[in-house]
């Protein structure tokens, strides 16, 4: 039995062994560098007599030890050294170590090696390890070539002394790629203190409210109490996940120094970009083309970048625009890289209102920029001509240039289509340099199959990219989100390729930033509070939520595997009371175990001389991987390659055929796609659900906020489109709430999701229900003004102190939040306003539509929001489109205005004493009106062009409401006829 206390050899990964005295073998007494007997004897035999870590000569050992080594070397000099596997997990179990000799040589990926190990292996031990590999060559050179690290394959064999002189200092190799910057105590300590104080004041406030009912208006009082309790609950869910906000800083120069050393192969990880589009008439091809061009020109090694464009509408317009885009990219990409321009989306670069000559030193820049702008204008004319032509579809359908019908004429019934425009073997730019790969993908669609909208399209891209390029990381973007910072991918790699940080990171999320929004941001399109406050808070727990775009994924996390640091054995439940919570742990454990077994089995199978494809397919089928990933051996084998790359067993001439196979409409049947792997189905907000599933497995995410925004998009600044966008998000939250993936009960097994993180996810699914108490609370001021009643009794001194303390705590919390986040008070106020606007309109409709969909099976369809204005800079801001979402907030505004007028009228008739009670009622009415003011302003439009039907419906509802209230008025004490008669007699009427 191997002793667990014996350290592992840093060279081969086996136990270092014991000497004749039964003590742990030590090669160097200066630094105790762990090296086993066999490796040490090989060092002496190869005349390498210095320690790989400290450089101390081994000759300083005692005479007895030297004699011992001479004897051992003599005994083993004719032995056949076997290749061994170096495990990625340094704390490998004895069983793994004992079985490691049968699976070949694996060099550890750089993202899984500690800083100390990388320093030793990459510096003084570099040539020594190379010589050892040369002397330990096995019988199969092909396997050796596959499993050895690229750096070790191509590294020249030179003396260690010269190697140490030529390499950079050890400090540069161990320099951090990123650091966490916690909030200073002077900012966060007062913030936390006020949160606790506010929580205490809330408790005292509710004690007063509950113990002091308003008998004269009991229904109004009870309604207000229920609403206030729900608001307090929502505040707790939103506030406490922001308990430990953090900032992060990246060091791109250190990333280049570690992975892009001069004279050596570039070791940066490859990245597959995903761009999704559906309808080119609502998502203009020119916007999509700018996103693609910004990706192709990104500051990253060309051979490491591949761009996949998913056309889920199978539109020939999208295909033809990509043809033009690929041709224009041959000019645009070298221009961007030559002059280091930002941003690298031509439409947004040429529209910048800044000095474009700043920091430019090459005299030819002005001339080339003028020529490039002219070329881009000509390119825009060609694309716009295509758009104009596509406005009316011919009766016989679209025809391609060669005369054949376009396969996607029926967008709901067409075969899968793939076209590689650019790539390593494709066309080059005008300077003869390679361009990144550009691939057009349109998955197959047939009637009777569920296609799962965007989530299904993203999963199809995952499989296609795995077959064609299989980059270890995936960056997905919406078609209207272009790369604004050409070094954005490097920013993400500072986390994902960091051996100390990136091991358990499932994705790196960037904030969303937008163009085309007016300075005042009337409808809170920027979502600044969410991206600059809430997401920073989540980054201090288990990581930010996935927001659907601008996110770099670890491909292995999408495949449903658990993070490497998770314990391999799931928790066992009590034998007397077995728990169902361990089911997810067991499934994760079994999937990870199957993966390791299949990887080893496939490798052993390839060493057979008569190995063929049929045997590999049978093996994969026996391991039940087809039930998880589908019937594609090429794809399944690609899932085993943690460092990416196309499997060597795959036939290059058959890759396109295999890619067509994996995007067939029936490929996902009877698999775990959309259930446990890939983008998760079951909600229109598949982003929240997918990120939640990953973090339930124990993965963590990271929030990256570079100084220059990484990506920018076009926000739907139109009021109607903005409300429909919010409606879609809220409906997705309702779907998750009513599904088995609800954070209230899902993912408790293993305790992998932290409680504050779970609280944040609960907040993301219950916030639409706030619309019910919100619309009731916004109606209360008008009811109080019309009836003369109020929800609060006459205030005592204690009650006044509680109300004052509550308002002050709310204000101070907001001020301190602004202090540590850097958000402006205007952004906070706009967010507060649109919380009310969206709550009484889009969120309300989402609750009812979600209940109808999940409980009654009545589905609702959503149109894609428009992405760009056409008339003027902010033309769409003043455009009002008819939608039922406009009715509830308009009605609330009218009712509260009517209530204010009625309240002042009663005060004038009631004399001086009635003005005091009027103040509280009018205060709450104006609170509603001020919060709905942006909606009112947007409704009026630039030239007061409010849709007539909106005004008619709102006035009608307000009138009916007022008349019914005057007729019924349940909050006024009823008086019978006898009481009236007695009163009349008493006053002698």
**Residue with the two structure tokens 């002496």:** 44
Other CB atoms closer than 10 Å to residue 716's CB: what's the count? 24
- 655-662 helix and 453-468 helix, angle to the nearest 10 degrees: 160
Q: Exposed e or buried b for every residue in 820-857, given b needs 16+ CB within 10 A? A: bbebeeebbbbbebbbbbbbbbbbbbbbebbeebbeee
Strand ranges, E, within 617-673: none
Q: Which residues contact 653 (CB under 8 A, 6 or more apart)?
A: none
Residue 687 falls in the annotated catalytic set: yes
What separation, in Å, do the N-terminal and C-terminal C-alpha atoms of the chain show?
Answer: 110
- Assess contact for 633 and 612: CB atoms under 8 A: no
- Assess contact for 498 and 492: CB atoms under 8 A: no
Residue 218 tokens, joined: 């009991």
Q: Is 140 annotated as a binding residue?
A: no
- Assess contact for 462 and 308: CB atoms under 8 A: no
- Do strands 473-478 and 271-277 pair parallel, antiparallel, or not at all (unpaired)? parallel
DSSP for 786-808? HHS--SS----HHHHHHHHHHHH
**Three-state SS at 893:** helix
Q: Is 478 annotated as a binding residue?
A: yes
- Choosing from 480, 498, 588, 687, the catalytic residue is 687
- Assess contact for 459 and 674: CB atoms under 8 A: yes
Q: Is 413 annotated as a binding residue?
A: no
Segment 194-199 long-range contacts (CB within 8 Å, at least 24 positions apart)? 194/809, 194/812, 194/813, 194/816, 195/239, 195/240, 195/243, 195/813, 197/809, 198/806, 198/809, 198/810, 198/813, 199/236
Chain length of the chain: 989
413 membership: H or E segment, kind and range: none
- Do strands 551-554 and 473-478 pair parallel, antiparallel, or not at all (unpaired)? antiparallel
Say how far apart CA 284 and CA 305 lie, in whole Å: 24
Say how far apart CA 134 and CA 2 lie, in whole Å: 29
Q: Is 521 annotated as a binding residue?
A: no
Q: Which residues contact 743 (CB under 8 A, 6 or more apart)?
A: 692, 736, 758, 761, 762, 765
Say how far apart CA 58 and CA 35 lie, in whole Å: 12
**Residue with the two structure tokens 């295509």:** 386
- Choosing from 311, 312, 429, 539, the catalytic residue is 312
Q: Is 536 annotated as a binding residue?
A: no
- Assess contact for 122 and 167: CB atoms under 8 A: yes
Peptide bond into 343 cis (omega under 30): yes
Residue 659 tokens, joined: 């890619």
Residue 312 falls in the annotated catalytic set: yes
DSSP for 337-378? HHHT-SS--HHHHHT--S-TTTT---TTHHHHHHHHHHHHHH
Say how far apart CA 110 and CA 115 lie, in whole Å: 10
- 915-931 helix and 825-839 helix, angle to the nearest 10 degrees: 90
- Assess contact for 559 and 751: CB atoms under 8 A: no
Cite the annotated binding site by residue number. 276, 282-283, 312, 453-454, 478
Point out the annotated binding site for UDP-alpha-D-glucose: 276, 282-283, 312, 453
Catalytic residues: 312, 687
Question: Which residue ranges make up the annotated binding site for Mn(2+)?
Answer: 454, 478
């Amino acid at each position: 039995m191997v002793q667990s206390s014996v350290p592992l050899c840093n060279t081969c990964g086996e136990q270092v062994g014991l000497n004749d005295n039964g003590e742990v073998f030590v090669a160097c007494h200066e630094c105790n560098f762990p090296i086993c007997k066999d490796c040490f004897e090989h060092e002496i035999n190869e005349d390498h007599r210095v320690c790989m870590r400290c450089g101390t000569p081994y000759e300083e050992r005692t005479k007895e030890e030297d004699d011992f080594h001479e004897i051992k070397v003599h005994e083993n000099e004719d032995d056949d050294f076997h290749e061994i596997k170096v495990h990625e997990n340094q704390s490998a179990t004895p069983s793994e170590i004992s079985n490691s000799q049968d699976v070949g040589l694996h060099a550890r990926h750089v993202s899984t090696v500690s800083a100390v190990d990388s320093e030793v292996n990459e510096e003084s031990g570099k040539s020594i390890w190379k010589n050892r590999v040369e002397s330990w060559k096995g019988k199969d050179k092909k396997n050796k070539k596959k499993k050895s690290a690229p750096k070790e394959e191509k590294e020249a064999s030179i003396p260690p002394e010269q190697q140490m002189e030529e390499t950079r200092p050890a400090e540069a190799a161990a320099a951090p790629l990123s650091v966490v910057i916690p909030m200073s105590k002077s900012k966060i300590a007062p913030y936390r203190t006020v949160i606790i104080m506010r929580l205490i004041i809330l408790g005292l406030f509710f004690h007063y409210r509950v113990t002091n009912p308003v008998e004269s208006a009991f229904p109004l009082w009870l309604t207000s109490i229920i609403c206030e309790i729900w608001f307090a609950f929502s505040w707790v869910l939103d506030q406490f996940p922001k308990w430990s906000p953090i900032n992060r800083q990246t060091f791109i120069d250190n990333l280049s120094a570690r992975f892009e050393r001069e004279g050596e192969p570039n070791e940066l990880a490859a990245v597959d970009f995903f761009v999704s589009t559906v309808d080119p008439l609502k998502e203009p091809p020119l916007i999509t083309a700018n996103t693609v061009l910004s990706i192709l020109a990104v500051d990253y090694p060309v051979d490491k970048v591949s761009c996949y464009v998913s056309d889920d509408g199978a539109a020939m317009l999208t295909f033809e625009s990509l043809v033009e885009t690929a041709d224009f990219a041959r000019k645009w990409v070298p221009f961007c890289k030559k002059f280091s321009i930002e941003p690298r989306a031509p439409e947004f670069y040429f529209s910048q209102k800044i000095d474009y000559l700043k920091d430019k030193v090459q005299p030819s820049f002005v001339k080339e920029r003028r020529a490039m702008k002219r070329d881009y204008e000509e390119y825009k004319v060609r694309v716009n001509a295509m758009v104009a032509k596509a406005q009316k579809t011919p009766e016989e359908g679209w025809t391609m240039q060669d005369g054949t019908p376009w396969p996607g004429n029926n967008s709901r019934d067409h075969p899968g289509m793939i076209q590689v425009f650019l790539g390593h073997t494709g066309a080059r730019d005008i300077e003869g340099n390679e361009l990144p790969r550009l691939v057009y993908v349109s998955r197959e669609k047939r009637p009777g199959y569920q296609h799962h909208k965007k989530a299904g399209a993203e999963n199809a891209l995952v499989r296609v990219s795995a077959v064609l390029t299989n980059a270890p990381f995936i960056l997905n973007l919406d078609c209207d989100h272009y790369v604004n910072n050409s070094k954005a991918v490097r920013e993400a790699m500072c986390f994902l390729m960091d051996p100390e940080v990136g091991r358990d990171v499932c994705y790196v999320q960037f904030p969303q930033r937008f163009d085309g929004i007016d300075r005042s941001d009337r409808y809170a399109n920027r979502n600044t509070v969410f991206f600059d406050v809430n997401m920073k808070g989540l980054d201090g727990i288990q990581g930010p939520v996935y927001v659907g775009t601008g996110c770099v994924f670890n491909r292995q996390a999408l495949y449903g595997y658990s993070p490497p640091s998770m314990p391999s054995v799931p928790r066992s439940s009590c034998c007397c009371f077995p728990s169902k919570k361990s089911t997810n742990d067991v499934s994760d454990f079994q999937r990870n175990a199957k993966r390791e077994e299949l990887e080893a089995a496939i490798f052993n199978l390839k060493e057979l001389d008569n190995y063929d494809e049929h045997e590999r397919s049978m093996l994969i089928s026996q391991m039940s991987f087809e039930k998880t990933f589908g019937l594609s051996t090429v794809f399944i084998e690609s899932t085993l390659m943690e460092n990416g790359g196309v499997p060597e067993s795959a036939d290059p001439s058959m890759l396109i055929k295999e890619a067509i196979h994996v995007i067939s409409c029936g490929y996902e049947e009877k698999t775990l796609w959309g259930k446990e792997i890939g983008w998760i189905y079951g909600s229109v907000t598949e982003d929240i659900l997918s990120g939640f599933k990953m973090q339930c497995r124990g993965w963590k995410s990271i929030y990256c906020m570079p100084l220059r925004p990484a990506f920018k998009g076009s926000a739907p600044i139109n009021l109607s489109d903005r409300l429909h966008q919010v409606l879609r998000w809220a409906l997705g939250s309702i779907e998750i709430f009513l599904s088995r993936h609800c954070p209230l009960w899902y993912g408790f097994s293993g305790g992998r999701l932290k409680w504050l993180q779970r609280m944040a996810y609960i907040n993301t699914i219950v916030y639409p229900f706030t619309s019910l108490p919100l619309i009731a609370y916004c109606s209360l001021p008008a009811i109080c003004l019309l009836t003369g009643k109020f929800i609060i009794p006459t205030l005592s001194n204690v009650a006044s102190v509680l109300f004052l303390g509550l308002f002050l705590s709310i204000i101070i919390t907001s001020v301190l939040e602004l202090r540590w986040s850097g958000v402006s008070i205007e952004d906070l106020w706009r967010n507060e306003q649109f919380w009310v606007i969206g709550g009484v309109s889009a969120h309300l409709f989402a609750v009812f539509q979600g209940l109808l969909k999940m409980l009654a099976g009545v589905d609702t369809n959503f149109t894609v929001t428009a992405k760009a204005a056409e008339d003027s800079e902010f033309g769409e801001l003043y455009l009002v489109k008819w939608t039922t979402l406009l009715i509830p907030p308009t009605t609330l505004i009218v009712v509260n205005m009517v209530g204010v007028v009625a309240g002042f009228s009663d005060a004038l008739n009631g004399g001086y004493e009635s003005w005091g009670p009027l103040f509280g009622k009018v205060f709450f009415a104006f609170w509603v009106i001020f919060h709905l003011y942006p909606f009112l302003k947007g409704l009026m439009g630039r030239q007061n062009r409010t849709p007539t039907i909106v005004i008619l419906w709102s006035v009608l509802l307000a009138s009916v409401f007022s008349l019914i209230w005057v007729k019924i008025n349940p909050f006024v004490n009823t008086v019978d006829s006898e009481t009236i008669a007695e009163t009349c007699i008493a006053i002698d009427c």
